[in-house]
Amino acid sequence: MNSFSAEGVILKRRNLGEADKLVTVFTRSRGKIKTLAKGVRKVNSRRAGSLEILNHVKIFLHETKSWPILTEVETKGNFNNIKEDLSKLSLTYLLFELVDQFLTEEQESPFVFDLLVSTLVAIDNSPSLEKAKVFATNFQLKFLSQVGYLPQLQNCVVCDQQIQPETNFLAPYLGGLVDKTCSREVLLSRSLSLEAIKTLRFLIKTPFEEIYKLSLEKKLLKELFDVLNFYTVFFLEKDLNSPRFTLAVEKLYH
């Protein structure tokens, strides 16, 4: 059997048997994988701390017929500022939900991985929650684009006319914006202000390094958050957010 190593971020863990854990890691080279960490729940296990959710790690694995066995783990980053701040933590879990629910196992996506790590670093270093939310929104939009669900923001998806600079409507099942006239025929849509439309267009074409300079108002951040979740949930069979964090995230924006 082969051994291999991978850079990854720990998304989830669950107990298995007396002393083991099954750890879900989103890796750069192999996508999302599950690995068996044997004996990590024993008191003296030196690996236990390295396997905390959120950690950026390098893992060494030994392939088996079932889950690969974790043989070693090195911590590259542990994002302690996020772990110590419930608001930042809730935001981060929302991003993890996206990665976990949209990407299938072993569907590799180095772009999403790099975007995720950059976003975690940025949220960890964010001086304010508002700033952290800008990075979370940026992640959400660019993630949707990578998995093929970027909403059409230039032309009406019903009549193909150019979107006018006013409030329009976002219709998930049509894949983008619908103008005022056509919105009368569309059942499931959510209004989107001109400012929000402009912000989404700006985010999608702006490289990560320049997002640092952007600051957005609370009200706009909430609008973007609501509408992106409305849009995203449509493509998932179940709601976003593990129930545990739904409330926490709700509180962030209300």
Residue 21: which of 78, 73, 70 has the closest Cα?
70
Nearest to Zn ion of 1, 187 (CB atom): 187
Does residue number 53 form part of the binding site for Zn ion (CB under 5 A)?
Answer: no
Beta carbon nearer to Zn ion, 95 or 174: 174
**Distance of closest approach, residue 141 Cβ to Zn ion, in angstroms:** 22
CB of 183: closest distance to Zn ion in angstroms?
8
Among 74, 107, 159, 191, binds Zn ion (CB under 5 A): 159
Give whichever of 82 and 163 is closer to Zn ion, judged by the CB atom: 163
Shortest distance, position 197 Cβ to Zn ion, whole Å: 14
**Minimum distance of Zn ion from residue 181's CB (angstroms):** 6
Q: Which is nearer to Zn ion, 75 or 152 (CB)?
A: 152
Is 156 near Zn ion (CB under 5 A)? yes
Q: Which of 179, 203, 224, 240 binds Zn ion (CB under 5 A)?
A: 179
